[in-house]
Each structure stands twice: as C-alpha cells, then as structure tokens.
Amino acid sequence: MMETNRRMIWKKCSRGNVEAWDLYLNIKHDNLFSFIFENTGNGRYSYVSCTNREILRIEKDEKEDPMEMIRKWLINEEYKNLKGVPENFPEWTGGAAGYFSYDFIRFYESIPLHAEDDLGLPYVYMMKVEEVFAFDMYENQVYFIVNYGEGCKIKNSEEANWRVLEMEQVLKGCTPGIPRSNSYLHKKGNEEFSFSLNQHEFKEAVRKIREYIAAGDVFQVNLSLRQNRTTFLTDEEIYHELRLLNPSPYMGLFHFPEFQLISASPELLLRVKDGKVSTRPIAGTRKRGQNEQEDLELELELIETEKENAEHIMLVDLERNDLGKVCEFGSVKVDEWMVIEKYSHVMHLVSNVVGQLREGFDGLDALMGVFPGGTITGAPKIRTMEIIEELEPLTRGPYTGSMGLLGFDGSGIFNIIIRTLILQKNMAYVQAGAGIVIDSVPKAEYYESLKKAEALWRAVSLGEEKLSLVEREESLE
C-alpha cells in the first residue's frame, strides 16, 4: 500500500484477464451513478467507478457562476503537485466524472434561444468520484486509488487502506461481464426513425449557410441533424456492442439515473495535466472503403482534396487561437499535422495542438478557452453558434458538448460528444453533422451526417438481434 503527499492511498496489481468493461458490469449493480471511460486517447488508461454520493447538477436557469460552483465543489489546492507516485502513474486519480452540454456556453455568451429544448437535460451533470479503478493496458496492471479526509466518505488513512484491499478483492472475484438486460420485455424497438431535419430541410439550411458565407458572415458552419427511435435495450447492451464494433480513443458510458450517454467519440476537446494542455481537432471525413484498395483511394482523396485541407487548416488555426487565450505566449504549437485516423465506418483527418498553461490558470479555465470545440461549431465561433441556433430546430443538449473526467487538482480529460447515443427511458437519440463551406454539396453533406451516426445505430441493431435470438431460443424450450 502506498501513501502520497496528499490524502490518497493506492496499490496496484496484475489485472489478469479482467477488462475494465468486465469490472464495470460486476460493480454497477444498483448504483445510481457510474461510468467507464476507456483508453483515453493514448490507449493506455481506462477508468471505472460507481457512486451514490455527491452529485452536481446545473440547470439552464442557474443564477450563480457555474464554473465557480464547480471550483467550490471539487477543486482542492492541496491536491496539486502530486508526489510519491511512480512515472506513468494514472493521470486522473479522482475528482468528478460527467459532462458539459453544448448549451452550457449560454451562461457566458449571449446566444439567442430559438430552438426547442425537448429533452430538458441538465447543462452540467457530474458525479464526485473518490474511489477509482484505473486499468493500465500497457503494463497489464490495475491501480486501486482511494481519496480520503474531510469531505470524503472515508475519513482517515486506516479506513482508506482497508478500502483499497476490498477493491483488490473485487477485482480478484471479477467474472466475465454480462450486460444487464430488459429481455424480459420480449419486444424490439420501432425501427422507424424520426428526424429533426428531413433531407429537404437540411438542403435548405445548407443553402442558407452558403448565403451567409458568401456575405462574409462566416467561413464554415457545422450543421447537424438528430435521429431517434425506440429501443428496449439497456445502456449496457448498447455499449457492449459499440465497443466491439467501433472502438474509439475517447469512448465511454456515463450512467445517470434519468438518462445515459453512450459514446464512441474519436475527438479530444481538452487534456490538462501538470500545466500542459492539448486539443486534437478533427476536420475532414470519408467513409471507409469496401476493401483495402478502395480504403487507400479514399484516404488519398481525403488528404489531397483542397476543400478538406482548407477547412482543416482553418479549424486548427481556430483551436490554436483558443488555446492561446489560456497558454503562455509562444507555447502553442501543432505537434501532429493532418494524420489519418480510421474507425469502423469512417476515417478522419486529425491534428494535435499543445501548449503550456499560463500561471494562475487551471483546467476549468482551459476548458472555457476551447469550449465548445471549433470543429463542431465552425468559424468564427460565436457567429456560427447564432446561425446554428437559427437553423437547427432542437437545442443540441449534450451533443457537441464534452464528457470526461475533472481532477481534484484541476487536471482533466474531455472528449467532444460526437458519435454518441443518448438513451432516455426507451428512446435512443443520435445526432451528427457536417461542416458546411461555400462549395458544399447539400446532398453529400446530408449523407455524411447519416454516415457518422451509422456505427451507433448498428450497435443498437446488433443488440436487438441478440435479443430476438434469446426470445426464439426461449420459445423452443
């Protein structure tokens, strides 16, 4: 058992054959709040925890400054400058897990509200996490981390030591996880989709955006549409299929009692650790090929297309400027430039922007500097958000906001909420969009938006096919 210079006890052991997802399914039980956040960008660490303790929920009518509320609720100066841990220790050791909705920006920018808020979800929803299972996939280890002291469930180091030993026993008793099921309902969801914009309405919105671009208002606008249909699958069943079908660098399942976020996000909005910050913008998309040769041809087309290159350069510049608001002068640099990342149904053009956080700024300041991500609004950011509000009939809610982990020390890892399904009761919602520029082809942008949602709907279909198989087998008994 190891103690640090702050109130935290930790231990590590071999994970054996246990995956983070197995552990999640073994410990979830009846906990109201739980999460798994997998392979957060570098492919190394996955984090799991459950809690019924402190929750922070910020609604759209909140009068206090939300960022100050979060600081008072979570950030502890004593937790900064962690010592007594080995190199490559997990970068997140407890704090809060949750999300900021896209509409959170309304607290700080005067974006007109025309769209309907039909889901009515919180602008911020976070669970405080004092106990963490951190899976190190490089070293095949699991870290058991317990924070203790004033304000925590566990008050002293002796109790924390016992809790670490209990966590180790939980891991050793872990069995292959089986997703919780509603199969007793013996029915499949209605496969008919509802759309926030039909194809004609989407094309008209593209036409309007091109008029704004021609008039010099904006350079690019990210236009999205939402699809929804019923399903009787649980969040666990959907995520189980999604992580096999479309493994992604910032994927996770965040379970809240009223709804769940099931994400296969490929995009990092922000990583903050020890004063170093990074963001990883995606701009440029192609479908995957039917074979290796077609895949290579589409990759070359994506790299060489002038439209995609110009759009990517513009959005990387936007992210550099955003980081420049909170970073030391001259420290912001692009350390990866226009690389291809491939997923099950699409491939993307990606760059990485890094910087050194300015003295006196923390992870929340950095988050506000880049929020919401420019790749999912457009440029310039505020004007594009006004146009989005005009043309999209429904508020975005969590979509294109950010979900992730915020540390007691102000560190953080946050994705952009894209390729994400919202499950609310028996209704599944998936939203996706495309970057519209002056020479965009409306039909192509419409189908690109549908393509980006495809992996999520495929995961639902696969889960329902298994449900139907169980039903057929039971009927033969």
Nearest CA to 457 out of 428, 427, 415, 434 is that of 428
- 3-class DSSP state of 424: strand
**Which residue in the block uniquely carries the two structure tokens 């099931």?**
262
SS3 content of the chain, % helix, strand, coil (to 5): 35, 30, 35
Q: Does residue 148 contact residue 9 with C-beta atoms inside 8 Å?
A: yes
435 is annotated as an active-site residue: yes
Residue 345 designated active-site? no
In angstroms, how far apart are the furthest CA atoms of the chain?
71
Bridge partner residues of 327 (DSSP): 357
From 98, 404, 435, 463, active-site residue: 435
Q: Which two tokens stand for residue 385?
A: 């958000």
Bridge partners (DSSP) listed for residue 413: 271, 405
Helix H or strand E segment including 253: strand 250-255
Q: Tokens for 426? A: 């028996």
Q: Are 99 and 125 in contact (CB under 8 A)?
A: yes
DSSP string, 447-473: HHHHHHHHHHHHHHHHHHHHHHHHHHH
For 40, 85, 238, 249, 421, the CA distances from 245, given in Å and listed in that order, are 18, 36, 11, 13, 14
Residues 6+ apart with CB under 8 A from 301: 286
Candidates 40, 279, 375, 377; catalytic one: 375
The reply to whether 419 belongs to the active site is yes
Question: For residue 123, which of 385, 428, 398 has the smallest C-alpha distance?
Answer: 398
On whether the CB atoms of residues 323 and 277 are closer than 8 A, the answer is yes
DSSP string across 209-224: HHHHHHTTS-SEEEEE
Active-site residue, from 24, 239, 343, 399: 399
Residues present in the chain in total: 477
> Which of 251, 243, 222, 128 shows the shortest CA–CA distance to 431?
222
- Which of 226, 280, 358, 419 is labelled catalytic? 419
* Cα gap 465→459, rounded to integer Å: 10
Give the active site residue among 226, 286, 312, 348. Answer: 348
Distance CA 216, CA 385 (A): 15
Cβ atoms 261, 422 nearer than 8 A: yes
Extract the tokens encoding 242.
């999604």
Could you tell me where the DSSP H helices lie in 351-417? 363-370, 381-391
Give the residue numbers marked as catalytic.
348, 375, 399, 419, 435
